[in-house]
Amino acid sequence: MQSQAEVKIGDQEVKHAQQSEFVSFTVAGQAFCLKITQIREIRRWSPVTILPHAPVDVLGVMNLRGAVIPIYDLSARFGLQQTEASERNVVIVVAVDGKPVGLLAESVSEIISINPEEIQDTPQVDSRHTMEYIQGIISHDDTMVRIINLDAVISVPEQGLS
Amino acid sequence: MSGSIQDTFFEECEELLEAMDEGLTAVEGGDHDPEVVNAIFRAVHSIKGGAGAFGLDELVAFAHKFETVFDEVRANRLQLDPKLIQLLLRSSDHLSDLVSVARDGGSTDEEHNAVLIAGLEEYIGEEEEDLTFEPMGLGGPSVPLPIEEESEKTYEIRFHPLKEMFGTGNEPFFLFQALSELGPLKVVLDESELPGFDSMAMDESYLAWNMTLTTKEPKSSVEAVFEFVEGLCELEISSDTDGEDEAAALAALNAAFGSPGDSTEPETPVPFDAPAPAEVAPVVSSEPTEKVEAAKPESNKSEQRGPKPTLRVDLERVDRLINAVGELIINHSMLAQQIANLDVADLRDVETELEGFKNLARDIQEGVMSIRAQPVKPLFQRMARIVREASSATQKSAKLVTEGENTEVDKTVIERLSDPLTHILRNAVDHGVEKPEAREEAGKNRIGTIRLSASHRSGSVCIEIRDDGAGVNRPRVKQIAIEKGLIPENAELTDSEIDNLLFLPGFSTAKEVSNLSGRGVGMDVVKNAVSALGGRINISSTPGKGSTFTIILPLTLAVMDGMVVSVADQTMVVPITSIIETMRGSDEMINSLGADGTLLSIRGNFVPICDVAGALGLRKPDGDQPPGVYLLVETETGQRSALAVDDIHDQRQVVIKSLDGVCGNIPGVAAATILGDGKIAMILDPESIIAASPTSATFDTERRMSNAIAS
């Protein structure tokens, strides 16, 4: 940590160009993040329309300015407990292949700027889902922030639905 | 530049080929009206003209022969007997092939080409000895025209173009050029009408020409030169020798062309292109497109059979418009709801205005939707060819009868229907219709009839393909399915289940691989194509009588009238077109049948009840609390069901938002819509809800089918 901080100060200009920004948020008490460029907008949770016969991690659909977008419960998708959605929760709208998709998260924390080299590979764990959904991890303020692999999160379970 | 002009030419060709097909179909059906023949002639002629401008020699050569035969027919020198009609039909197919080859590259079937040309020449040849045909449009470059020797005549021609002629891009010079091809020509300008410089109007036509032409050609050839400016100029042609017979011929020619306006054909200058000197060529080649647009409205005034004036618009623009209008309607509902929520005493004025707004929005919307909707006619016309080809390849005789050609369907649907329809029709000819001998034995007409019809039915488009062939050979179908391991050997299937085996992947009944079918691509491809359009396909068959394929397609992108209901605390919309009747039920109306079946008694009739919430998996079907409101619906097979919902709220127009790409196919849900409060509501598909309902026998069938497939 210490050495990294020193590099940051000493090499401010170069750093700035290389840094990527992530938006971190919590899902079922764990910290996750997405690249800021992947996020279209963040909305307060409002009740969605239930899709019949939908899997547990698909909450339903929401009206986003005239477009019908599906809302996924990230927590359920990661195999954690289902989120009891409330007014305090947020929907992170991301675009996958140009199509907007909403992801339910507990709350949004902050924007993290880090060096791409600081991203660590996901350590090998048993859960196959974890490996698929998590692209890498960042150490930030002594906590572990998981970088979500958006394509895997959105596309894999969708096949199960159809 | 030439690329885009060429594109326009090919687009024109599409329309012209369509017009030609339409005409030929009418002729085939016994309509020998000269106007029909004329329409075909003009279409072929226009294709030839355009092709000439682009140097598509093969196309020109063939079109010329084709056109010449029509010219003979037009002049009543040839009788339209069935043999000739068949030849003409085959030729028209070939012509459209040639156009495709010219556009997309590839090669044509030389042999086929030669056979057809020989066939056509036979008809031309017969008449050649004693009669002349007029070389309309001066002919293609590569085709020598047999012209009867005639003594020279001198024509006095006075030509005074109207200002409209210049508006269509015609150029007198090219007319003179064409005339001079006929013989020595003397042109004198008559500028006597030219006013003083001050009073000259810029766009007025003051000039006239007096010409003296000496030629061996008949007067009609001279007339032909001015064919394309007819109605756009004052024209007098007098000959030193001709008498009343020529005048009669002129009258006949005029009659043949209907009225003056319709001879302003799009490709106007093209026939003169070939002989034109090099320096004018570039100008000419750039003209066809301009003329196309300019001449069209002209030709319409008097031309009912011709194509209507059209506007080519990028499809994307239309789609944007449709989306925007959809938003407008949603916006209106939201506004209406907001206003209703306001705490204002007198809302009457606002409500009146809002009603006006709603009507306007509806008008705009219908208008926009109709831009995308197109009649299925061109598609059906193409199908006639498929049947023709399929029957000649299988040595069977079959004819296609089409109905409901003017049914309008979304353009995308039409485009994507072409392949499945082709497949079904080929199958109908190959597998359905029997050999002529077999048909005779069965006491049927030697010629098989395949009926292709389109109609709107309860908010969907219904396409039906009915043949009067042998029907599905059920024992054989079942045996094959068993052989291929598609169903277990001891499977007990009903007739309709056996028929539907045809749609299973990897199923193909053809014993030998014929030219047409049996390439391993089965009806499952058809089914997939129809499903991709959000439609359904069904087959029903009677042994010895024939089979019927029914394709039900949604009217995509449409707005529909829906009934807003609530089901398990969710707001949903049921298409109003599928609802026959709504009613509030009471306990004594409900009758149990078996373990979990319930029937609703309506005026002495019993219909099965289908609990929507249960079918959608939103509530456990406990059966103890029947919801209070029933929607009586009828499925495409005529089966009635009562959909049980909690309550009915409203009846309103909703914009269909496709769930494609949002989530997969949800049984029971057709699409979604956005309600006035901004919430999304599911639009239910009664058909599939009933199918998914445990009380339904259909579900049973499907389950058994899928079990059978799985095992």
Q: How confident is the model at residue B537 (pLDDT cuts 50, 70, 90)?
A: confident
pLDDT value for A24: 92
Q: Which residues contact B162 (CB under 8 A, 6 or more apart)?
A: B205, B232, B233, B234
CB B468 within 8 A of CB B419: no
CA distance A59 to chain B (A): 11
CA distance B25 to chain A (A): 44
Contact between chains at A61 and B665 (C-beta distance less than 8 A): no
pLDDT value for B521: 55
Digit-coded pLDDT (tens) for B173-217:
777 777 787 777 888 887 777 777 777 777 777 778 888 877 777
CA–CA separation, B354 and B346 (whole Å):
14
| β-bridge pairing A143-148 and A30-35 | parallel
Contact between chains at A52 and B617 (C-beta distance less than 8 A): yes
Contact between chains at B680 and A48 (C-beta distance less than 8 A): yes
Q: Which of residues 24-53 of A touch B (CB under 8 A)?
A: 47-53
- What DSSP line would sit under B517-579, residue for residue? S-SS--HHHHHHHHHHTT-EEEEEEETTTEEEEEEEEE-TT-EEEEEEEEETTEEEEEEGGGE
Percent over 70 (pLDDT), chain B: 77
Contact between chains at A61 and B661 (C-beta distance less than 8 A): no
Q: Which residues contact B544 (CB under 8 A, 6 or more apart)?
A: B442, B470, B471
Contact between chains at B668 and A52 (C-beta distance less than 8 A): yes
Task: Note down the domain range covering A130.
Answer: 2-161
ipTM value > 0.95: no
What's the rounded mean pLDDT across residues B17-28? 80
Q: How confident is the model at residue B241 (pLDDT cuts 50, 70, 90)?
A: low
Q: Mutate which of A68, A72, A101 to test chain B, going by most B C-beta atoms within 10 A?
A: A68
What's the rounded mean pLDDT across residues B275-289? 41
Task: Give CA separation, A76 vs A26, A30, A89, B180, B269, in Å.
Answer: 13, 13, 15, 86, 71
- How do the pLDDT tens digits run along chain A, 162 residues long? 444 444 444 444 444 557 788 999 998 888 999 989 889 899 888 888 888 888 888 888 988 877 788 998 888 888 787 777 777 889 999 988 778 899 999 889 889 888 888 888 877 776 666 677 888 888 888 888 989 888 887 764 444 343
Digit-coded pLDDT (tens) for B605-618:
888 888 888 888 87
Contact between chains at A63 and B681 (C-beta distance less than 8 A): no
Q: Is A62 on the interface with B (CB under 8 A)?
A: yes
Listed range (B97-101, B225-229, B316-320) with the worst mean pLDDT: B225-229
Q: What is the DSSP letter of B76?
A: T
CA–CA separation, A61 and A101 (whole Å):
9
Q: How confident is the model at residue B240 (pLDDT cuts 50, 70, 90)?
A: low
Q: Is the pLDDT of residue B356 over 80?
A: yes
Listed range (B251-265, B341-355, B519-533) with the worst mean pLDDT: B251-265
Q: How far apart are the first and last CA of chain B?
A: 61
pLDDT value for B247: 52
Tell me, what CATH number does A141's domain have? 2.40.50.180
**Whole-number average pLDDT of chain B:** 73
Q: Is B301 on the interface with A (CB under 8 A)?
A: no
Residues of chain A with C-beta less than 8 angstroms from the C-beta of B657: 67-68
Candidates A48, A52, A99; nearest CB to B669: A52
Note the Cα B689 to chain centre separation in Å.
33
Q: Is A99 on the interface with B (CB under 8 A)?
A: yes
CA–CA separation, B561 and B546 (whole Å):
37
Listed range (A123-132, B11-20, B697-706) with the worst mean pLDDT: B697-706
Residues of chain B with C-beta less than 8 angstroms from the C-beta of A69: 662
CA–CA separation, A36 and A18 (whole Å):
14
Quick one: closest CA in A to B328, which residue?
A66
CA distance A51 to chain B (A): 8
CA distance B322 to chain A (A): 13
Domain count of chain A? 1
CB B505 within 8 A of CB B521: no
CA distance A100 to chain B (A): 9
CA–CA separation, B591 and B603 (whole Å):
13
